[in-house]
C-alpha cells in the first residue's frame, strides 16, 4: 500500500454505490462474474448457455448482426446476486470503449440510487439528453412530482387514493356488493391503521416512491401481500361497532378456508397500485412514453442510437409498465414512421418481480441473463481478490487508472501497485506477472474477518466494516491496529487467548496499556494468523512472519513469546507460502457445530450448547461492555466452590458462622460488575477484568462440560486457574464471612449471643452474687437454661421483669447455639454434631472481649456482613431488644425495692436509711412478734395466728433477709443497668417480702388485740366488776393461789 | 500423624487448640485438660475426641508428660501462636520420615496430578484406595474409613491444595506449602537459582512433592501450579534461558505464559 496516495484515494475508491464513483475505480475494483446463464431466442427456441461477462458484452454491444437491432435484455437473479453491479460494469465498459472508439451510441444509465421513484425521476431528469429534448409539459410534471412528494400526508393520500380508485372501478374484477363492502372496510379506522402500520402495504408503496430510510430493503415489491389482508378472529371482533358491510367482509378475510377469496382481494388491490402511485405523485400515465419517444426521435435526427441501462426496474414503481411499454417499442416495421432511433435496453429485476411481468412481454424480450454468483464470500478466491483490488486502487493515482480505462480497461493492462514498503505480507496473484500486496491484511485475516461478520456479508458491508476501518487505522492510527475488530467474536481457542493474556500480564507496562495490548493481540492472532502461538526456527510466529507482528508494536510480546517457546514442534506448522490461498476456510454453521463437539470427553451436545451460549454472553459482557446475562447458575457454582473448597476453620472462620452465612447469602457471595440483576445484594463484587472473564468460563466448563466435575478437556489448566483465583481471593472471602472488626476476636453476632446469654441468666435468676467481670465457662460453656419456675422466683420481681423473662424464653435457643457452636472445632462440614472440642484460644479471646464490653452492644453499630445474614442479624437484633427493655425493668425493679425497704424500715425505730440491716435486728423483732402472739394466745385474743413454721423460718433466714433488705436499701441511680439487674437477679425483693408481710400482719394483729382487750374492759366495767384498773377476777384467783401455797408448805 | 496411625479426629485445629491450652495452663492433669477442651456438658456424643487429638500433639513433640505425669508444653510458643505458625512448624516436621504412611499418602496425592479427577470422590474411589493401599500397605477398609478422611484435613491445612468437601475432590496447588518450604529452606531474595539449585535450597520436607521430579526434571501438577502462581503474583520469576544446560518441565498448561519449560527461578520477594 502506498500510504500517501491512499490517504487521498480511500474516500474516492470506497464510494462503491455512489453515482460519483469513477468508471476507472469501478473497473479497477471489479471482480469478474463467474456464473452467468444466458437465455436467447433462436427462432422459436430458447437456448441457455453459460457465458463470461466479456462474452456477454460482446454479444450485446459488439455483435455485428445485432448492433442495429432493437434489444430488450433482462438481467435477473436473486436478491444480492450482483445484477446491479453487472449493469454498472456494462456501463463502465461501454464508457471505456467509447473513449477508445468513435461511435454513435448514447448510453443512459439509471442507477438504483435510493431505489425510489422520486430518486429515479430526479436521476432521469438530470440527464442532458432528457433536459434538452423532453416535452416541456411532461418534463415539468415529472419535475414537480419529485419536489412535491413530501413525507407528511403522503401515506394518507396513497391510502385514500385506493378507495377513490375502487369507488370508480367499472371493471368486473370484483362484484359491486363486494366492492361496497371493501370500501366500507377500507373506511374503517382500525383497518386503516392496520394497513398503514410500519412494514404494511401502504408503507411499502410509500417507501418505494419516496423514502429517506437507509434501512429500507431495496428489493421489496410495492404491492399488497396476501398476509396484509388476512385477518384473525381477534381483529374481526374489534370491529364490533363497525359498519355491517365492513364486518361482513372482515369475516370473509379471516384466516381459514377463504384463501382463494383473500388472494382475489389482494390481486384486486394490486391492480390499482400503479394508478394510485401515478395519481398520488401527480404523473400522467402517458408522460413516460412520450418522453422516451421524443428522446429517441431526437437521437434519430442526430444519427445516434440509444443504449438504456436500468439497474432495477422496480425503482420505476408506478410507471414501470409505461417504461416497459416505451422500451419494447421497436424502431422498425410499423413503428418506422415514428422516426425512432434504435434502442438497446438492459433492465435489472429480481426474479420475483420478473415473474410478474414476464408473460406480458414474453415476445418482446430478446435476451435473458441470469446471475447466480451469490454472495461474494462464497468463493474465497473472489473475496481475497475483491479486497486486493480495492487496496490496489487506493494505492494508485487517479491518472494511472483513468489512463488504463481510456485505453479500453483491458485486464492484461491492469495497473498494479508494487509495494516495496511492506515486505513479507501476503499477495494476491492476479496473474503470473501481477501480484497485489494485501497489506494490512493476510489472506487468513480476510477470510476470518469475513467469517466473523454477523450478517450483511455483501460487498458494501465488507468495505464498510473491514476494509475502510482497517485502512483508516493504518493511515492514521497504526498504533491502535486492529482496533476495528477488537470486539468481534474471537476465533481463538481459550487456551491461546488466556496465554496471550498471561504473557501480556508479565510485560512491564501500565494496566491500561496491558489491557489495550491484550485486546489488540487477541484480535491480531485470532484473525491474522493460524491461531496458535507457535514459534518456528525460521522466524515465523503463529504461521506468519515475525516482522508482521513488529509493524504493529507487538515486539515486546514477540520477544517474550520467543524466549518462552520451544521451536522444535512449531516448525512442522510452517505455512506453505507459495500456496495461493491460506488454509482458513469460510465457515458454515454446520462446520462450527462439527468443530465444537469434543468427542474425546463425550460431552452432551446440549451441555456444549449451553456452554457456548453462556460463553457468548460472557464475551459480549467482557468485550462489548454489555450486561452480564444468564450468569446465575455459574455464579452459584463459583460461590459454592468458595464455600466448599476453603477449609474455613483453618482460615479462622468457625463452621457455624460460615454455615449461617451460606444459608442466608448462598450464591450471592459473589457478583459481577454489570450483571443484569441483583448486584446490590451481592457481597463480593468482581470487576470486569480478564481474570473475572476467565473465572466465568472456568466454572461454565465445570457446570456444563464437566457436569459439576473437573472431567472435561484440559481441566488441569482450569484447576490452576480456579485454585490460583481462590488463593488470591481467599482472605477476602474469609474476611466478609468472618466479619470481625480489627482488634476484635469475635463477630458482632457472637458477641451479642454471649451477652444475651448473660441477660437470660440474670433475668432467669441464675446469676447470683456473681461478679460480672468473672463470668466464664458456667455461663458461656454451659447447657442452655430452662425457664425458672421456682416459688422463690415467682414473687417479688416487677411486672416488667417477668415480661422480659417471658420475652426471652419465647425466643428459642438460637443465640445459645450460636455462641456455643462458634467455639467448637468440627471435622468436615457437619452442621449438628454432638462432639465438642473447644477452640481454646478463640474462646479465651472472646471471654476477654465480652468482659470488656460492659455487656452492651451499640445502638447503631455497623455489624458489617452480619446485616446480610438473617441467622446472625436476628441474634444481634434480639440482644438489642433485650438491652432496650432492660432499663425499664431496672426502673420498675428499683422502685419496688425502694418501697419495700422503706415499708420495712418503718418497723425499725432504731435503724436509719443510712444504716444496714443486721440479722439480729430481724431475729429480735421476730422474737417480739412471737411473744406477742403467745400473749395473745394466752389472753385468748381472737386473731389469725401465723403458721407455726412461719416465724422460725424467717428467723432462720434472718441473715438472707437482712442482705436482701440491704440490697433494696442501696442507691442505684449511678449504677449500670446490668449491675443493678445482676443485684436483683436473686430476687431480693422476693426474699424480703415474707418478712415485711409478717411485720404488717403483726402490726395489724396488735391493733386487733388491743381493740379486743379494750372492749373486754368496757364490758367488765359495765358489769361493775372492774376497779382501779384491776380485774376482780385476779383477786379471787390470787387468794386461791395463796391458800394453795400455804397448804403445800404445811405438807413439806 | 508422623509415625503414628492417621486418625480423622485429630484435625490440625484441634491439635493446635490442645497445645495452646497446655501452654496456658500447664502443668495440668490430663483430666483437667480434657475438661477444658471437651466440656462435659457440651459434648453430648458418647465418646470424647480428646485422646487422638492429645496423641497427635504429643507425636508432634509439642506436649509431653512431666515426672508427675502432668501435661506440659515442650515446644516453642512461637510455633503455636497462630494457625499459620503452626502450619509452618508442621511442614518442618511431618515429612521428616519418608517411610511414614502420612508421607507416602501425601506423596501419592501430589503425584496423581490430574488423573484422579475423573474418579470423583477420592474417599470412596476404588481406584484411589487400591493405589494408596498398594503404596502404603494400609488396608482398603482402614483407608476408606479413616485414613483418607483424616489426611484430607492435613493436605489442605499444610497448603498442598484445596479439598472440595462436598465432592471430596483434591485440587492440587501447593502454593502455600512451597512458600513454607522456601521460608524453612535457604532461599535468598534477589538471587537467581537454576531450578536444580532452587530445589536443593528448599527445606527437606519439600521432597514429598518431588518424588518423580528429580529423575524426570518434570514437576507434578501441585508443584507446577505453585510455581506458576508465585510467578503470576510476581513473588518469583520463572525463566527460560535458552543456553541453559538443564531444562525442567512444568505440568503442561497451554494457557500459561510458561507452557512447560523453565530453567531458572529468580526470587523477587522475600518469603513471608
Tens digit of pLDDT for each residue in A4-43? 999 989 888 887 555 567 788 888 888 888 768 888 766 6
| Interface check B232 vs A, CB under 8 A | yes
Q: Could you tell me which residues come within 8 angstroms of residue A641 by beta carbon, excluding any fewer than 6 positions away?
A: A699, A702, A722, A726, B164
pLDDT score of A1033: 65
Q: Do B176 and A641 touch (CB under 8 A)?
A: no
Consecutive H or E run containing A118:
helix A117-126
Model pTM above 0.80: no
Distance, CA of B155 to CA of B177 (rounded, Å): 9
Q: Is A765 helix (H, G, I), strand (E, B) or coil?
A: coil
Distance, CA of A71 to CA of A57 (rounded, Å): 13
The answer for B 61-90 residues in CB contact with A (under 8 A) is: 83
Length of chain B: 272
Burial A852-870 (b: 16+ CB within 10 A, else e): eeebebeeeeebbbbebbe
Burial A995-1034 (b: 16+ CB within 10 A, else e): bbebbebbeebbeebeeeeeeeeeeeeeeeebeeeeeeee
Contact A478, A552 (CB under 8 A): yes
Closest-approach residue (CA) in chain B for A691: B232
Closest-approach residue (CA) in chain A for B224: A720
Q: Could you tell me which residues come within 8 angstroms of residue A89 by beta carbon, excluding any fewer than 6 positions away?
A: A26, A27, A30, A53
- Read off the C-alpha cell for A34: 463467474
Q: Which residue has the cell 376482780?
A: A1032
Q: Do B37 and A505 touch (CB under 8 A)?
A: no
Q: Do A840 and B13 touch (CB under 8 A)?
A: no
Q: Could you tell me which residues come within 8 angstroms of residue A927 by beta carbon, excluding any fewer than 6 positions away?
A: A955
Contact A285, A320 (CB under 8 A): no
Closest-approach residue (CA) in chain B for A838: B37
pLDDT score of A894: 92
pLDDT score of B16: 97
DSSP for A460-516, please give it: HHHIIIIIHHHHHHHHH-GGGTTGGGTTSPP-S-HHHHHHHHHHHHTSSS-HHHHHH
Nearest 5°: the CA angle A1024, A1027, A1033 is 80
Among A566, A837, A845, A846, most B C-beta atoms within 10 A, so best to mutate, is A837
Q: How many CA atoms lie within 13 A of A854 on its CB side?
A: 7
Q: Which residue has the cell 408473460?
A: A359
- Read off the C-alpha cell for A453: 461478520
Nearest by Cα to B85 from B108, B67, B62: B62
Average pLDDT of chain B, as a whole number:
92
Q: Could you tell me which residues come within 8 angstroms of residue A667 by beta carbon, excluding any fewer than 6 positions away?
A: A632, A635, A636, A639, A640
Q: Which residue has the cell 411486672?
A: A799
Q: Do A709 and B36 touch (CB under 8 A)?
A: no
Give the DSSP letter of residue B269: S
Distance, CA of A620 to CA of A627 (rounded, Å): 8
Nearest by Cα to A29 from A16, A10, A11: A16
Ranges of chain A with pLDDT below 70: 16-20, 35, 41-44, 80, 98-103, 113-121, 124, 129-152, 210-219, 285, 373-377, 566-600, 769, 860, 913, 1025-1033, 1051-1052
**Residue A825, φ and ψ in degrees, nearest 5:** -90, 110
Q: Do B163 and A645 touch (CB under 8 A)?
A: yes
Mean pLDDT of B96-120: 90
* Alpha carbon of A822: minimum distance to chain B alpha carbons (Å): 12
Contact A312, A41 (CB under 8 A): no
Give the DSSP letter of residue A797: S
Q: Is A829 helix (H, G, I), strand (E, B) or coil?
A: coil
| Interface check B12 vs A, CB under 8 A | yes
Closest-approach residue (CA) in chain B for A654: B13
Closest-approach residue (CA) in chain B for A717: B253
Distance, CA of B97 to CA of B99 (rounded, Å): 5
B174 — pLDDT class (breaks 50, 70, 90): very high
- End-to-end Cα spacing for chain A: 162
pLDDT score of A50: 84
Q: Do B44 and A505 touch (CB under 8 A)?
A: no
pLDDT score of A589: 39
Question: What residues form DSSP beta bridges with A545?
Answer: A540
| Interface check B118 vs A, CB under 8 A | yes
| Interface check B9 vs A, CB under 8 A | yes
Among A498, A708, A827, beta carbon nearest to B9: A827
Give the DSSP letter of residue A76: E
* Alpha carbon of B24: minimum distance to chain A alpha carbons (Å): 9
The answer for B 185-214 residues in CB contact with A (under 8 A) is: none
Q: Is A557 helix (H, G, I), strand (E, B) or coil?
A: helix
Chain B residues with CB under 8 Å of A727 CB are 173, 175-176, 229
Distance, CA of A71 to CA of A69 (rounded, Å): 6
Distance, CA of A64 to CA of B238 (rounded, Å): 80
Q: Do A835 and B8 touch (CB under 8 A)?
A: no
* Alpha carbon of A674: minimum distance to chain B alpha carbons (Å): 26
Chain B residues with CB under 8 Å of A649 CB are 11, 13
Nearest by Cα to A34 from A79, A93, A97, A86: A86
Contact A842, A745 (CB under 8 A): yes
- Each residue's pLDDT tens digit, A69-90: 888 899 988 776 778 888 888 8
Contact A279, A173 (CB under 8 A): no
Nearest by Cα to A754 from A695, A820, A703: A820
Q: Do A652 and B254 touch (CB under 8 A)?
A: no
* Alpha carbon of B266: minimum distance to chain A alpha carbons (Å): 14
Give the DSSP letter of residue A784: P
Q: Is B145 helix (H, G, I), strand (E, B) or coil?
A: helix
Q: Do A722 and B171 touch (CB under 8 A)?
A: yes
| Interface check B175 vs A, CB under 8 A | yes
* Alpha carbon of B76: minimum distance to chain A alpha carbons (Å): 16
Among B14, B173, B259, beta carbon nearest to A723: B173
Nearest 5°: the CA angle A665, A671, A676 is 115
Nearest by Cα to B130 from B117, B121, B140, B120: B140
Question: What residues form DSSP beta bridges with A25?
Answer: none
pLDDT score of A461: 83
- State how far the alpha carbon of A793 is from the alpha carbons of A718, A981, A987, in Å: 65, 14, 7
Among B153, B221, B256, beta carbon nearest to A499: B256
Q: Could you tell me which residues come within 8 angstroms of residue A605 by beta carbon, excluding any fewer than 6 positions away?
A: A597
Q: Could you tell me which residues come within 8 angstroms of residue A234 by beta carbon, excluding any fewer than 6 positions away?
A: none
Our measurement of the distance from residue A524's CA atom to the centroid of its chain's CA atoms, rounded to an integer in Å, reads 28
Chain B residues with CB under 8 Å of A836 CB are 38-39, 42-45
Q: Is A951 helix (H, G, I), strand (E, B) or coil?
A: helix
Q: Is B47 helix (H, G, I), strand (E, B) or coil?
A: coil
Q: What is the 3-state secondary structure (H, E, C) of A378-397?
A: HCHHHHHHHHHHHHHHHCCC
Nearest by Cα to A498 from A767, A701, A648, A359: A701
Out of A618-622, A1037-1041, B64-68, B130-134, least confident range: A1037-1041
- Read off the C-alpha cell for A224: 399488497
Chain B residues with CB under 8 Å of A644 CB are 164-167
Per the omega criterion (within 30 degrees of 0), is the bond before A1011 cis? no
Chain B residues with CB under 8 Å of A499 CB are 254-257, 259
Closest-approach residue (CA) in chain B for A730: B162
Among A727, A827, A835, beta carbon nearest to B173: A727
Chain B residues with CB under 8 Å of A724 CB are 173, 175, 225, 228-229, 232
% helix, strand, coil for chain B, step of 5: 50, 10, 40
Dihedral over Cα of A228, A233, A237, A243: its sign: positive
- State how far the alpha carbon of A434 is from the alpha carbons of A54, A89, A355, A443, in Å: 20, 22, 43, 17
**Residue B60, φ and ψ in degrees, nearest 5:** -80, 0
Chain B residues with CB under 8 Å of A844 CB are 24
Distance, CA of B213 to CA of A534 (rounded, Å): 26
pLDDT score of A113: 60
Per the omega criterion (within 30 degrees of 0), is the bond before A440 cis? yes
| Interface check B167 vs A, CB under 8 A | yes
Q: How many CB atoms lie under 10 A from the CB of residue A455?
A: 6
**Is B28 a residue whose pLDDT tops 60?**
yes
Mean pLDDT of B60-83: 95
Amino acid at each position: 500500500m502506498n500510504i500517501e496516495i491512499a490517504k487521498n484515494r480511500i474516500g474516492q475508491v470506497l464510494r462503491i454505490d455512489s453515482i460519483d464513483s469513477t468508471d476507472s475505480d469501478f473497473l479497477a475494483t471489479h471482480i469478474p462474474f463467474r456464473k452467468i446463464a444466458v437465455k436467447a431466442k433462436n427462432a422459436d427456441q430458447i437456448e441457455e448457455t453459460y457465458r463470461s461477462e466479456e462474452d456477454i458484452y460482446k454479444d450485446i454491444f459488439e455483435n455485428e448482426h445485432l448492433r442495429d437491432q432493437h434489444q430488450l435484455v433482462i438481467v435477473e437473479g436473486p436478491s444480492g446476486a450482483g445484477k446491479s453491479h453487472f449493469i454498472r460494469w456494462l456501463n463502465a465498459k461501454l464508457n471505456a470503449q467509447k473513449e477508445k472508439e468513435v461511435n454513435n451510441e448514447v448510453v443512459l444509465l439509471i442507477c438504483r440510487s435510493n431505489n425510489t421513484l422520486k430518486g429515479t425521476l430526479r436521476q432521469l431528469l438530470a440527464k442532458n439528453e432528457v433536459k434538452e429534448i423532453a416535452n416541456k409539459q411532461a418534463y415539468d410534471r415529472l419535475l414537480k412530482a419529485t419536489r412535491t412528494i413530501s413525507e407528511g400526508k403522503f401515506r394518507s393520500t396513497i391510502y385514500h387514493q385506493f378507495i377513490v380508485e375502487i369507488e370508480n372501478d367499472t371493471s368486473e374484477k370484483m362484484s359491486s356488493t363486494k366492492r361496497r363492502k371493501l370500501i366500507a372496510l377500507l373506511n374503517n379506522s382500525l383497518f386503516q391503521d392496520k394497513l398503514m402500520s410500519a412494514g404494511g402495504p401502504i408503507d411499502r408503496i410509500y417507501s418505494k416512491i419516496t423514502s429517506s430510510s437507509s434501512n429500507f430493503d431495496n428489493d421489496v415489491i410495492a404491492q399488497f401481500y396476501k398476509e396484509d389482508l388476512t385477518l384473525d378472529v381477534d381483529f374481526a371482533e374489534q370491529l364490533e361497532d363497525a359498519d355491517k358491510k365492513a364486518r361482513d367482509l372482515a369475516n370473509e378475510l379471516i384466516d381459514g378456508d377463504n384463501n382463494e377469496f383473500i388472494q382475489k382481494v389482494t390481486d384486486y388491490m394490486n391492480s390499482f397500485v400503479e394508478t394510485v402511485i401515478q395519481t398520488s405523485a401527480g404523473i400522467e400515465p402517458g408522460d413516460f412514453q412520450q418522453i422516451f419517444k421524443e428522446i429517441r426521435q431526437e437521437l434519430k435526427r442526430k444519427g445516434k442510437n440509444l443504449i438504456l441501462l436500468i439497474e432495477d426496474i422496480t425503482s420505476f414503481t408506478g410507471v414501470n409498465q409505461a417504461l416497459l411499454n416505451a422500451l419494447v417499442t421497436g424502431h422498425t416495421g410499423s413503428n418506422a414512421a415514428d422516426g425512432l432511433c434504435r434502442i438497446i435496453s438492459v433492465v435489472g429485476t429480481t426474479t420475483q418481480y420478473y415473474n410478474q411481468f414476464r408473460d406480458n412481454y414474453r415476445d418482446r424480450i430478446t435476451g435473458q441473463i441470469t446471475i447466480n454468483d451469490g454472495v461474494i464470500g462464497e468463493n474465497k478466491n473472489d473475496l481475497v481478490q475483491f479486497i486486493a483490488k480495492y487496496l490496489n486502487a487506493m494505492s494508485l493515482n487517479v491518472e494511472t487508472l483513468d489512463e488504463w480505462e481510456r485505453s479500453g480497461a483491458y485486464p492484461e493492462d491492469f495497473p498494479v501497485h508494487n509495494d516495496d514498503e511492506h515486505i513479507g505480507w501476503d499477495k494476491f496473484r492476479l496473474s503470473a506477472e501481477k501480484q497485489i500486496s494485501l497489506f494490512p491484511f493476510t489472506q487468513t485475516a480476510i477470510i476470518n474477518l469475513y467469517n466473523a461478520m454477523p450478517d450483511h456479508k455483501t460487498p458494501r458491508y465488507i468495505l464498510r466494516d473491514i476494509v475502510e476501518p482497517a485502512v483508516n487505522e493504518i493511515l492514521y492510527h497504526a498504533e491502535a491496529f486492529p482496533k476495528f475488530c477488537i470486539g468481534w467474536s474471537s476465533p481463538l481457542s481459550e487456551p491461546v487467548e488466556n496465554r496471550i493474556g498471561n504473557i501480556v500480564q508479565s510485560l512491564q507496562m501500565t494496566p491500561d496499556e496491558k489491557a489495550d495490548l491484550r485486546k489488540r493481540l487477541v484480535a491480531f492472532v485470532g484473525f491474522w494468523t493460524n491461531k496458535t502461538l507457535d514459534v518456528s526456527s525460521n522466524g515465523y510466529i503463529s504461521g506468519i512472519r515475525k516482522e508482521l507482528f513488529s509493524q504493529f508494536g507487538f515486539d515486546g510480546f514477540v520477544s517474550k513469546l520467543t524466549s518462552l517457546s520451544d521451536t522444535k514442534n512449531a516448525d512442522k506448522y510452517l505455512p506453505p507460502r507459495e500456496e495461493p490461498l491460506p488454509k482458513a476456510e469460510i465457515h458454515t454453521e454446520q462446520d462450527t457445530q462439527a468443530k465444537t463437539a469434543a468427542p474425546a470427553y463425550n460431552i452432551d451436545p446440549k451441555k456444549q450448547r449451553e456452554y457456548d451460549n453462556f460463553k457468548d454472553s460472557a464475551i459480549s459482557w467482557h468485550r462489548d461492555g454489555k450486561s452480564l446475562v444468564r450468569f446465575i447458575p455459574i455464579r452459584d457454582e463459583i460461590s459454592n466452590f468458595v464455600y466448599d473448597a476453603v477449609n474455613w476453620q483453618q482460615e479462622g472462620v468457625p463452621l457455624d458462622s460460615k454455615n449461617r452465612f451460606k444459608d442466608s447469602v448462598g450464591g450471592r457471595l459473589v457478583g459481577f460488575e454489570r450483571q443484569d440483576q441483583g448486584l446490590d445484594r451481592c457481597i463480593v463484587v468482581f470487576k470486569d477484568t480478564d481474570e473475572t472473564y476467565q473465572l466465568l468460563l472456568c466454572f461454565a466448563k465445570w457446570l456444563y462440560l464437566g457436569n459439576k466435575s473437573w472431567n472435561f478437556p484440559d481441566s488441569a489448566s482450569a484447576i490452576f486457574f480456579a485454585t490460583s483465583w481462590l488463593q488470591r481471593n481467599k482472605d477476602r472471602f474469609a474476611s466478609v464471612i468472618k466479619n470481625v472488626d480489627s482488634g476484635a476476636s469475635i463477630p458482632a453476632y457472637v458477641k451479642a449471643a454471649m451477652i444475651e446469654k448473660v441477660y437470660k441468666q440474670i433475668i432467669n435468676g441464675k446469676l447470683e452474687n456473681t461478679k460480672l467481670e468473672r463470668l466464664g465457662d458456667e455461663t458461656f460453656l454451659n447447657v442452655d437454661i430452662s425457664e425458672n419456675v421456682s416459688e422463690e422466683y415467682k414473687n417479688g420481681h416487677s411486672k416488667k421483669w417477668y415480661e422480659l423473662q417471658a420475652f426471652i424464653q419465647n425466643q428459642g435457643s438460637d443465640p445459645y447455639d450460636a455462641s456455643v457452636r462458634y467455639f467448637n472445632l468440627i471435622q468436615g462440614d457437619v452442621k449438628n454434631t454432638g462432639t465438642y472440642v473447644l477452640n481454646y484460644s478463640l474462646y479465651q479471646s472472646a471471654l476477654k472481649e465480652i468482659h470488656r464490653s460492659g455487656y452492651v452492644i451499640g445502638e447503631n453499630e455497623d455489624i458489617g456482613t452480619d446485616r446480610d445474614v438473617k441467622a446472625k442479624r436476628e441474634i444481634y437484633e434480639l440482644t438489642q431488644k433485650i438491652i432496650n427493655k432492660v432499663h425499664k425493668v431496672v426502673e420498675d425493679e428499683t422502685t419496688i425495692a425502694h418501697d419495700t425497704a422503706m415499708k420495712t424500715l418503718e418497723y425499725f425505730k432504731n435503724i436509719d436509711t443510712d444504716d444496714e440491716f443486721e440479722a439480729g435486728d430481724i431475729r429480735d423483732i421476730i422474737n417480739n412478734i412471737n411473744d406477742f402472739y403467745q400473749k395473745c394466745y394466752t389472753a385468748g385474743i381472737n386473731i389469725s395466728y401465723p403458721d407455726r413454721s412461719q416465724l422460725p423460718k424467717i428467723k432462720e433466714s434472718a441473715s438472707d433477709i437482712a442482705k436482701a433488705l440491704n440490697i433494696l436499701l442501696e442507691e442505684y441511680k449511678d449504677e449500670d443497668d446490668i449491675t443493678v439487674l445482676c443485684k436483683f437477679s436473686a430476687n431480693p425483693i422476693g426474699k424480703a417480702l415474707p418478712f415485711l408481710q409478717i411485720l404488717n400482719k403483726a402490726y395489724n394483729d396488735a391493733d386487733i388485740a388491743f381493740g379486743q382487750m379494750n372492749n373486754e374492759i368496757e364490758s367488765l366495767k359495765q358489769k361493775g366488776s372492774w376497779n382501779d384498773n384491776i380485774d376482780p377476777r385476779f383477786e379471787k384467783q390470787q387468794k386461791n393461789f395463796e391458800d394453795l401455797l400455804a397448804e403445800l408448805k404445811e405438807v413439806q | 500423624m508422623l509415625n503414628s496411625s492417621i486418625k480423622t479426629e485429630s484435625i490440625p485445629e484441634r491439635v493446635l487448640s490442645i497445645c495452646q491450652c497446655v501452654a496456658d495452663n500447664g502443668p495440668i492433669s490430663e483430666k483437667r485438660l480434657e475438661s477444658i477442651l471437651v466440656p462435659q456438658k457440651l459434648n453430648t456424643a458418647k465418646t470424647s475426641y480428646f485422646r487422638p487429638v492429645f496423641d497427635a500433639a504429643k507425636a508432634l513433640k509439642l506436649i509431653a508428660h512431666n515426672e508427675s505425669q502432668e501435661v506440659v508444653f515442650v515446644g516453642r510458643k512461637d510455633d503455636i501462636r497462630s494457625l499459620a505458625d503452626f502450619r509452618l512448624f508442621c511442614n518442618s516436621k511431618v515429612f521428616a520420615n519418608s517411610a511414614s504412611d502420612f508421607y507416602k499418602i501425601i506423596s501419592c496425592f501430589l503425584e496423581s496430578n490430574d488423573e484422579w479427577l475423573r474418579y470423583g470422590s477420592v474417599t470412596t474411589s476404588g481406584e484411589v484406595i487400591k493405589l494408596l493401599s498398594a503404596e502404603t500397605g494400609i488396608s482398603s477398609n482402614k483407608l476408606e474409613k479413616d485414613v483418607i478422611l483424616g489426611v484430607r484435613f492435613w493436605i489442605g491445612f499444610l497448603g498442598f491444595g484445596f479439598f472440595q468437601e462436598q465432592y471430596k475432590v483434591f485440587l492440587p496447588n501447593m502454593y502455600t506449602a512451597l512458600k513454607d518450604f522456601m521460608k524453612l529452606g535457604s532461599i535468598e531474595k534477589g538471587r537467581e537459582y537454576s531450578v536444580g539449585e532452587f530445589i536443593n535450597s528448599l527445606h527437606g520436607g519439600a521432597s514429598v512433592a518431588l518424588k518423580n521430579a528429580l529423575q524426570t526434571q518434570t514437576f507434578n501438577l501441585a508443584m507446577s501450579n505453585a510455581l506458576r502462581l508465585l510467578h503470576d503474583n510476581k513473588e518469583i520469576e520463572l525463566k527460560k534461558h535458552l543456553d541453559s544446560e538443564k531444562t525442567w518441565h512444568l505440568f503442561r498448561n497451554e494457557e500459561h505464559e510458561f507452557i512447560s519449560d523453565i530453567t531458572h527461578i529468580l526470587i523477587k520477594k522475600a518469603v513471608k
